[in-house]
Amino acid sequence: MSMRWLRWGQGFMALLLAAMMWSPYPAEAASVELSPTIQTAWGKLVAFANDNQSAKLAAQMTNFRSLQTQENSLDAKIQSLHYSNEEELTLVKNRIKTINAAKIAALEAKVKKTEEKYQPLLDNYKLLTKQISAANALGSKTLKKALQAQADLLKPAVALAKADIKARKDELKAEKEATAKIASAIRSTLAEIDTVKVQIRAAKSGAQSSKSALSSLLKTFNAAVKKPDVSGASSTLSSMQTLYAKLIEHKQKNYAYEQKITTILAKAKLQFPNS
């Protein structure tokens, strides 16, 4: 009688352990989940097994649950870091548009102010040159001479005005070119992310392949548990553990690639000029 109660107790504890390990919340995101029916059948299977088999099954299940926990933890970290990287990437791209914006705006205002300052002088000189041409066409040497004299007096000032305007424009052009060079360097750094994203897609593809294989094995496992086939369930669970470990390996790579993107973003931010 005591042995029967002991076996019943083992089965009950196995069932309770299975229920705890596959509770809806912690395993919700796991790639492999046991249905309530299989959880119940699993408890009966462990109770049906001999002591050595029962201990082995319990150890396998503990390890399998550990893999589930690792996967859930990785999924959470990957998702969090991915969203953080995407947000940071958007901020960096938007920041590129503002590089030296204040300096460029100030130089543009300076060019405009300089042009406005000299505009009356340049307009006057332009008018004189037109009048000189008209006087020449009319054959009026006296008028042409008088107009030319006025123009000659303005020439030095006009030359200085044009030189000043050119200097302001050259300054603006140089600042824009320097800014474009900085922006290009940052964009070149950000382009490294594209290569990493290809690697992420490969890691996700590998994880998906492992998940598909796990889903297929789960059907075999469920059948063995229901039968109940202790040896078959144990063997299949062992294969599932191997696949699960491979799936986690792919997800670890995925997380490492997201960390690499974080590093690239940090590198890009260091390329911005000091405010």
The predicted-structure confidence for 15-24, as pLDDT tens digits, reads as follows 444 443 333 3
> Is 39 part of any domain?
no
The pLDDT of residue 275 is 64
Domain with 146, as residue range(s), is: 101-178
User: Is residue 7 pLDDT above 50, yes or no?
Assistant: no
Cβ atoms 120, 157 nearer than 8 A: no
Average pLDDT of the residues in 238-254 = 95
Average pLDDT of the residues in 198-223 = 94
Rounded CA-CA distance 65/237 in Å is 11
> Is 135 part of any domain?
yes
> Is 82 part of any domain?
no
From residue 7, alpha-carbon distances to 13, 77, 94, 126, 138 in Å are: 10, 41, 66, 111, 127
> Is 115 part of any domain?
yes
Rounded CA-CA distance 151/133 in Å is 12
Closest CA to 43 of 61, 25, 29: 61
How many of the other CB atoms lie within 10 Å of CB of 172?
18
> Is 144 part of any domain?
yes
> Is 161 part of any domain?
yes
What's the start-to-end Cα distance of the chain, in Å? Answer: 83
253 Cβ neighbours under 8 A, 6+ residues apart: 199, 203, 206
The pLDDT of residue 138 is 82
pLDDT digits (tens, 9 = 90+) for 65-76: 899 999 999 999
From residue 23, alpha-carbon distances to 39, 63, 243 in Å are: 10, 16, 22
User: Is residue 159 pLDDT above 60, yes or no?
Assistant: yes
Q: Which tokens go with 73?
A: 């933890």
Task: Report which of residues 160 and 17 the model is more confident about.
Answer: 160
The lowest-confidence range among 28-37, 70-79, 121-130, 193-202 is: 28-37
- Please provide the average confidence, as pLDDT, over all residues in the chain: 88
The pLDDT of residue 274 is 85
The pLDDT of residue 72 is 92
pLDDT digits (tens, 9 = 90+) for 88-144: 999 999 999 999 999 999 999 999 999 999 999 999 999 999 998 998 888 888 888
The pLDDT of residue 5 is 36
Rounded CA-CA distance 247/70 in Å is 11
> Is 13 part of any domain?
no
Average pLDDT of the residues in 58-63 = 92
Rounded CA-CA distance 128/147 in Å is 6
Ordered DSSP codes for 120-185: HHHHHHHHHHHHHHHHHHHT-HHHHHHHHHHHHHHHHHHHHHHHHHHHHHHHHHHHHHHHHHHHHH
The total number of structural domains in the chain stands at: 1
Ordered DSSP codes for 220-257: HHHHHHHTT-HHHHHHHHHHHHHHHHHHHHHHHHHHHH
Residues of the chain with pLDDT > 90, as a percent, come to 72
User: Is residue 8 pLDDT above 60, yes or no?
Assistant: no
User: Is residue 194 pLDDT above 90, yes or no?
Assistant: yes
Closest CA to 237 of 10, 7, 11, 18: 18
Q: Which tokens go with 29?
A: 């995101």
The pLDDT of residue 219 is 93
> Is 170 part of any domain?
yes
The pLDDT of residue 103 is 95
User: Is residue 28 pLDDT above 80, yes or no?
Assistant: no
pLDDT band at 11 (very low <50, low <70, confident <90, very high): very low
Rounded CA-CA distance 173/268 in Å is 24
